[in-house]
């Protein structure tokens, strides 16, 4: 039997399980590709739930599924405008690009920059408005006036604290008739306490009014400063974070073997200033003389070093730059990963910076670079592959691109690109090889034109190598 939307909605509200959604039969899935089975299930689930959670793992196409669901509701006239709240790093690389691929007939705007720029986008009438979490605080009044019918929060760990200013601002946007969908691959990954903030925005009726009561429900105090989860904490969290849908990479065997995702993290003001100065210096140096491939590689390396946060100067020292946005984006990826994580970083000082930052954030880490002896490397690789710790391994790609199996990780992050296609492909194969049970997701972190050009070149698998001289010329022309 085929149910219409109204019939399916009534049956669902009556608590009848297994109600088929009308979206699959009635909906002409627009876009450049056909959704996979799990994406259709997620989209159908979201259409039938005004408030819902999507806990699909990384790389399973949550953004596309939510986009199709929103478009279907727009077609029915139940939704006019959608507000998407997500980290800066995925506003364009994930959401805008996916919307252009699957809903090219809809209008999309990114509300980022100055308050005036954000306001102009909000007031433009675009059907999908994308904004970062902290941006909500900047234009809260404008967002409230726009009265979005549907609010989608991606990477929900940003609102795990109900007391945070951003969480309170978003809560003020939600009215009784507002649809709210929250998406994250790792709900309450750090502690059962984290579920409280998520539930307060989507299913507040399922949790106590005050956080202290929730903490007493899911945590047990064993000393002055230490709390541990209660035996039933998982069940309590599961009940609070409903209605929800989840697919894992292991279940979705029809996915592509490896998913590559670009994460655009703009350079900081400090980096931008010196990137421009360094580029002008290179152009001046190149004037009137022939640039060889060796010189081009050296000059590009300087730009890549700056993008990653540390430049080696001629005297042998290191100049460090502020790369907090990139470090925060890396932290987001690690939190969203249910498995271990491999980070490839091309420069030794960048590796030192990463090791220090991740340790401060509470992650167990190990490092492999050219200075680590072969015997010690074996110990580190064995611990990563067969023991619980370390959670993260930071690798200089030249030091471990070949002959190593690291299938305990299904998330690979390039903190900065390598200039070798062979090393790039071999490095990704450390996780993507026999013995891997999950689909591998590879993230490219990029903020500068040099990085974007190099990642694009590395992604062209038909090339035998990256032409550094041509790449240098392209970067200098930007």
Q: Which domains does the chain have, with CATH numbers?
A: 5-245 (3.40.50.10810), 258-265+321-477 (3.40.50.300)
Residue identified by tokens 């013995």 is 435
Residue identified by tokens 């990563």 is 384
List the structure tokens of 237. 């969290």
How does 6-24 read in b/e, with b if 16+ C-beta sit within 10 Å?
eebbebbeeeeeebebbbb
| Residue 294: predicted pLDDT | 58
d(CA 31, CA 238): 34
d(CA 468, CA 201): 49
Within a 10 A sphere around the Cβ of 171, how many other Cβ atoms? 15
The SS3 call for residue 300 is helix
Distances (CA, A) of 458 to 119, 423, 425: 38, 10, 8
Residue identified by tokens 């890549």 is 304
On whether the CB atoms of residues 245 and 45 are closer than 8 A, the answer is yes
Distances (CA, A) of 135 to 115, 166, 198: 9, 9, 19
What DSSP element (H or E) covers 68? helix 62-75
| Residue 93: predicted pLDDT | 67
Q: Are strands 365-368 and 392-395 parallel, antiparallel or unpaired?
A: parallel
Q: Are strands 310-312 and 318-320 parallel, antiparallel or unpaired?
A: antiparallel
| Residue 256: predicted pLDDT | 43
For residue 401, which of 387, 383, 384, 420 has the smallest C-alpha distance? 420
| Residue 185: predicted pLDDT | 84
Residues 6+ apart with CB under 8 A from 377: 368, 399, 400
Residues 6+ apart with CB under 8 A from 166: 133, 134, 136, 137, 158, 159
> For 283, which DSSP code?
H
d(CA 157, CA 138): 20
d(CA 331, CA 90): 14
Q: Are strands 150-154 and 82-86 parallel, antiparallel or unpaired?
A: parallel
165-173 helix and 195-202 helix, angle to the nearest 10 degrees: 20
d(CA 262, CA 414): 10
pLDDT in tens, the chain (478 residues): 445 777 777 766 766 766 667 787 778 899 887 888 889 999 999 999 999 999 998 767 899 999 999 999 999 999 999 999 998 878 886 799 889 999 999 999 999 999 999 999 999 999 999 999 999 999 999 999 999 999 999 988 899 999 999 999 999 999 999 999 999 987 887 789 999 999 999 999 999 999 999 999 999 998 877 788 999 999 999 999 999 999 987 777 444 468 899 999 999 999 999 888 888 877 666 565 555 555 667 778 888 999 999 887 766 678 888 999 999 999 999 999 989 999 999 999 999 999 999 999 999 999 999 888 776 888 898 899 999 999 999 999 988 765 678 989 999 999 999 988 778 887 888 888 767 888 899 999 999 998 998 898 888 653 434 455 566 666 666 6
On whether the CB atoms of residues 44 and 21 are closer than 8 A, the answer is yes
Q: What are the backbone angles phi and psi of residue 436, rounded to the nearest 5°?
A: -80, 120
Residues 6+ apart with CB under 8 A from 439: 59, 249, 252, 255, 256, 257, 258, 259, 410
Q: Are strands 340-344 and 392-395 parallel, antiparallel or unpaired?
A: parallel
| Residue 429: predicted pLDDT | 81
| pTM greater than 0.85 (yes/no) | no
CA angle 262–361–208, rounded 5-degree value: 95
CA angle 213–216–222, rounded 5-degree value: 150
On whether the CB atoms of residues 57 and 338 are closer than 8 A, the answer is yes
């Amino acid at each position: 039997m085929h149910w219409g939307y109204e019939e399916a909605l009534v049956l669902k509200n009556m608590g009848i399980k297994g109600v088929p959604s009308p979206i699959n039969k009635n909906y002409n899935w627009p876009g450049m590709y056909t959704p996979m089975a799990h994406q259709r299930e997620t989209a159908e689930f979201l259409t039938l739930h005004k408030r819902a959670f999507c806990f699909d793992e990384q790389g399973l196409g949550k953004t596309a599924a939510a986009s199709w669901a929103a478009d279907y509701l727009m077609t029915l006239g139940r939704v006019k405008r959608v507000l998407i709240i997500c980290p800066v790093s995925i506003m364009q690389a994930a959401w805008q690009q996916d919307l252009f691929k699957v809903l090219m007939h809809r209008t999309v705007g990114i509300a980022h920059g100055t308050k005036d720029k954000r306001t102009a986008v909000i007031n433009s009438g675009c059907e999908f408005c994308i904004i970062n979490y902290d941006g909500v605080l900047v234009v809260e009044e404008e967002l409230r006036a726009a009265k979005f019918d549907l609010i989608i929060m991606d990477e929900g760990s940003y609102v795990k604290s109900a007391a945070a200013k951003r969480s309170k601002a978003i809560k003020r946007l939600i009215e009784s008739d507002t649809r709210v969908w929250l998406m994250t691959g790792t709900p309450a990954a750090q502690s059962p306490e984290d579920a409280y903030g998520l539930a307060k925005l989507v299913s507040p009726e399922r949790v106590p009014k005050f956080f202290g009561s929730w903490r007493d429900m899911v945590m047990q105090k064993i000393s002055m400063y230490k709390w541990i989860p209660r035996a039933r904490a998982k069940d309590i969290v599961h009940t609070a974070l409903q209605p929800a849908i989840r697919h894992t990479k292991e279940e979705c065997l029809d996915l592509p073997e490896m998913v590559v995702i670009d994460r655009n993290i703009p350079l900081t003001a400090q980096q931008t200033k010196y990137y421009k100065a360094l580029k002008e210096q290179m152009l001046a140096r190149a004037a009137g003389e022939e640039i060889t491939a060796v010189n081009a590689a050296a000059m590009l390396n300087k730009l890549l070093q700056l993008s990653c946060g540390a430049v080696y100067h001629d005297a042998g020292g290191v100049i460090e730059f502020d790369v907090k946005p990139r470090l925060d984006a890396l932290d987001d990826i690690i939190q969203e990963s249910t498995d271990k994580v491999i980070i490839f970083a091309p420069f030794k000082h960048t590796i030192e910076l990463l090791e220090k930052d991740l340790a401060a954030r509470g992650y167990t880490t190990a490092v492999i670079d050219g200075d680590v002896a072969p015997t010690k490397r074996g110990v580190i690789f064995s611990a990563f592959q067969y023991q619980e710790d370390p959670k993260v391994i930071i690798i200089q790609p030249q030091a471990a691109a070949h002959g190593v199996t690291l299938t305990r990780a299904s998330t690979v992050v390039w903190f900065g690109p390598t200039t070798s296609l062979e090393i790039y492909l071999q490095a990704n194969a450390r996780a993507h090889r026999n013995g891997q049970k999950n689909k591998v997701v590879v993230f490219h972190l990029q903020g500068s034109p040099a990085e974007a050009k190099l990642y694009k070149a590395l992604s062209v698998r038909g090339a035998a190598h990256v032409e550094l001289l041509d790449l240098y010329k392209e970067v200098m022309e930007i």
